C-alpha cells in the first residue's frame, strides 16, 4: 500500500489503483496509517484516507466533564472535524481514484473518533453511507439521548465493536461503555434493516489488537455488500 502525504492528510492506496475505489475516511494519525498498511492484504480493494485530529478531546460531539483529574473537559468539536474530513475527501477525490458516492464511502474511528463517526451517522451526513465505530466512547454523558433524538438515514450501514473487557475499566464512567454500545445497536436495529447493523465483541480491553479490530471492521463490507 502506498501512502500519499498531501494537504495535511494521508491517503493509503493499493499499489495498482486504477478504478474508483470504495473509500473510508479514518480519523487518526501516522500511527494509524502504519496499522492500516499492515492489514492491507486482508481487505478488499479500498482507499483509506487518514484524517488527523487536532487532539483526542476535540473529537467529542458533546460537552462533558474531564474523564480524569488534570485532563481538559470534552468540547463539542465533532462537527468541526467532519468539515475537515469533507475538505480532505474533496481534495483527494479530485486527484486520485476514489469513489465518494455515499454508497461507496464511509467514515471510521477508534475510541472517541468512533463516536465522531456515529455523530456523522446521527446527523445524516450526506457524504457517507458507511459508519464504523471501533471501541467507540459511547459512555460519554448525553450520547444516548442525542442518538435517540437524531434519527439516521435508513440506508446507512453501521459497524460497532468493543473489547470484551472494556466494561471492566477502573474508571466508573467508562464502565458504562458495553451497556451503551448494546443500546446503540438496539436503537439502530429498530430503524435500519437487520443486515445493515453489525455489533462485534473482540477479546481484550480497549487497546488490545487494534490493527485486528480495524481489519475486522473493514472486511465487513465483503458480506454486507452481498445482494440484498
| Residue 70 vs residues 67, 106, 113, 147: alpha-carbon distances, Å | 9, 35, 21, 29
Q: What is the pLDDT of residue 17?
A: 77
Count the domains in the chain.
Answer: 1
Residue 49 structural domain: 2-224
Q: What is the pLDDT of residue 225?
A: 46
Residue 32, domain CATH: 3.40.50.1820
Q: What is the pLDDT of residue 228?
A: 33
pLDDT tens per residue, the chain (228 residues)? 899 999 999 999 998 877 899 999 999 988 999 999 889 888 989 999 999 998 888 899 999 888 888 888 888 999 999 999 999 999 999 999 999 999 999 999 999 999 999 999 999 999 999 999 999 999 999 999 999 999 999 999 999 999 999 999 888 889 999 999 999 999 999 999 989 999 999 999 999 999 999 999 999 975 544 333
Q: What is the pLDDT of residue 227?
A: 35
Q: What is the pLDDT of residue 210?
A: 94
Q: What is the pLDDT of residue 152?
A: 97
CA dist 200 and 132 (Å) reads 11
Which residues have C-beta within 8 Å of that of residue 216, sequence separation ≥ 6?
161, 200, 202
CA dist 130 and 219 (Å) reads 13
Amino acid at each position: 500500500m502506498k501512502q500519499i502525504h498531501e494537504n495535511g492528510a494521508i491517503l493509503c492506496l493499493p499499489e495498482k489503483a486504477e478504478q474508483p475505489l470504495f473509500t473510508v475516511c479514518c480519523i487518526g494519525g501516522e500511527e494509524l496509517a502504519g496499522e492500516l498498511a499492515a492489514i492491507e492484504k486482508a481487505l478488499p480493494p479500498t482507499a483509506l484516507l487518514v484524517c488527523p485530529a487536532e487532539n483526542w478531546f476535540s473529537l467529542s460531539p458533546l460537552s462533558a466533564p474531564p474523564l480524569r483529574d488534570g485532563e481538559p473537559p470534552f468540547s463539542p468539536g465533532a462537527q468541526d472535524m467532519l468539515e475537515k474530513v469533507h475538505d480532505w475527501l474533496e481534495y483527494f477525490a479530485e486527484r486520485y481514484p476514489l469513489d465518494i458516492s455515499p454508497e461507496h464511502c464511509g467514515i471510521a474511528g477508534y475510541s472517541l473518533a468512533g463516536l465522531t463517526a456515529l455523530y456523522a451517522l446521527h446527523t445524516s451526513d450526506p457524504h457517507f453511507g458507511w459508519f464504523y465505530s471501533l471501541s467507540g466512547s459511547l459512555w460519554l454523558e448525553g450520547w444516548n439521548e442525542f442518538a435517540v433524538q437524531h434519527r439516521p438515514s435508513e440506508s446507512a450501514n453501521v459497524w460497532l465493536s468493543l473489547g470484551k473487557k472494556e466494561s471492566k475499566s477502573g474508571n466508573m464512567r467508562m464502565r458504562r461503555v458495553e451497556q451503551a454500545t448494546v443500546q446503540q445497536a438496539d436503537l439502530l436495529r429498530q430503524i435500519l434493516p437487520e443486515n445493515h447493523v453489525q455489533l462485534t465483541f473482540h477479546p481484550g480491553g480497549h487497546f488490545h489488537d487494534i490493527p485486528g479490530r480495524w481489519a475486522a471492521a473493514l472486511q465487513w463490507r465483503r458480506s454486507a455488500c452481498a445482494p440484498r
